[in-house]
Every structure is written in structure tokens, then in C-alpha cells.
Amino acid sequence: MGVASVPIIFLSSLATGMIMSLQMVDILRLFNAGTLAGPAVGLTMSRELAPIITALMLIAKNGSAITAEIGTMRISEQIDAMETMSVNPVHFLVVPRVWAAVVVFPVLTAMANVIGVIGSYIVSVWIKGIDSAGFLYELFRMVNPKDIYSGIIKAVVLGFLVGVISCFFGYYVHGGSKAVGDAATHSVVVASVSVLLADYVMTDILLKVFI
């Protein structure tokens, strides 16, 4: 869930930072504020986009796989066999995956923050000609630790949410192999919507706490 997801998080966060700078630099230059592209991307990535991008990418890559794996074990009666041997399948199958998501999501979110800002720097400074010193000065002046903390807190909660939803849909699969595919699809949809709704709620709370 962690190491194998680094390339997709790297590419998605790099592209996001670059695209945001492409859109913003020319607009900010109208107000002689091109160097503010750095803090604009930094704040947006740290507070919102990094945890959201990480969550959505890992839902597509890992969440569906978790649902399919546990669902296959359910329809092949492996979970029933574990219960027969007095092995708690929740402790054995669900808890490790949820903990893995809780640990991995904030780590990959922190990486997405850094890579997104690097993408913004590449476009703003190397392509659009923004002053490098001004870009970095404004970035470090306006992006505070509390902005990064809020994104990490979101990532922890979203990791728990995604892990629980993915395991839930796999654990309660009933039917044949088609049911496993349907469960994987439903888990991706429900987890994605839940992540966006949870992000709104947490944003409202964290803005009151940190700002």
C-alpha cells in the first residue's frame, strides 16, 4: 500500500502542482503578484489537494484491491474456515489493513505536498520566468506548520475511513465472483464520496481550530 503507491502519488501531485501554476501565474501577474503562485499552491496542496489526491488515488489502487481480496476469501469460504478454527477474521484481515491505511496515508500526503510545490516551482520559475527568490520567500512566509498539520490530520482520518469502507464491502460479500466485482465498484464509489464529504466537514472544523 505504501511503497508501491509512491509512483502514482508522485506523478499525480507533480502534475497537479504544475497545472495549478500554469493557470495561476498569468492571472497573478495582472496584479504584479506572480511570486504568490508558490504560497497559493503550497497552501492549497497542504490544506486540501494533497490529502484528497492521495486518498482518491489509493482508493482506486488499493481500496478496490482490498475489497476484492477479502471478498474472494469470503465467497471461497476461507473466512468461514478461520471462524471454525476460532481465528477472529476481523482481527486477522481487517485491522492490519486499516492500520496500514492510517499509517501510509499521512506519509504519502506529506510526499505529495513536497512534490506538488516542486511541480509549481518548475513551471513558475523555469517556464514562466518568476523570480526564484521571490517564489521561495513568499512560500515560506505564508505557508505555516499549522497548514501542513491540518492536511496530515485529514490524511489520518481519510486513511481510517477508506480502510474501513474497503474492508466492509469485501467482508460482507455474498454470491459468486460477480458479487466481488460489484462490491469493489461500490466500495470505490462510496469511499470516494465519503472522502469528499469528510474533507468538507474536517475543513470546517480545522479552519476554526487553526485559523
**Residue 80 clears pLDDT 80, i.e. is over it:** yes
**Residue 23 clears pLDDT 90, i.e. is over it:** no
Taking the C-alpha atoms of residue 13 and residue 11, their distance in angstroms, rounded to an integer, is 6
pLDDT in tens, 176-204: 778 888 888 999 999 999 999 999 999 88
Looking at per-residue confidence, does 166 or 87 come out higher?
Answer: 166
Which amino acid belongs to residue 122?
I
**Residue 117 clears pLDDT 80, i.e. is over it:** yes
**Residue 211 clears pLDDT 70, i.e. is over it:** no
**Residue 124 clears pLDDT 80, i.e. is over it:** yes
Check residue 9 and give its pLDDT: 93
| C-beta neighbour count of 99 within 10 angstroms | 13
Give the residue-averaged pLDDT of 117-137: 90
Indicate the pLDDT class of residue 90, thresholds 50, 70 and 90: confident
Check residue 207 and give its pLDDT: 83
Q: What is the mean pLDDT of the chain?
A: 89
Express as a percent the part of the chain with pLDDT over 90.
Answer: 45
**Domain segments of the chain as ranges:** 3-210
Q: What is the DSSP string of the chain?
A: --GGGHHHHHHHHHHHHHHHHHHHHHHHHTTT-GGGHHHHHHHHIIIIIHHHHHHHHHIIIIIHHHHHHHHHHHHTTHHHHHHHTT--HIIIIIHHHHHHHHHHHHHHHHHHHHHHHHHHHIIIIIIS---HHHHHHHHHHH--HHHHHHHHHHHHHHHHHHHHHHHHHHHT--SSHHHHHHHHHHHHHHHHHHHHHHHHHHHHHHHHHH-
Check residue 34 and give its pLDDT: 82
Cell numbers linked to 42: 503550497
Indicate the pLDDT class of residue 28, thresholds 50, 70 and 90: confident
**Residue 167 clears pLDDT 70, i.e. is over it:** yes
* Contacts for 203 with CB less than 8 Å, ≥ 6 apart: 47, 48, 154
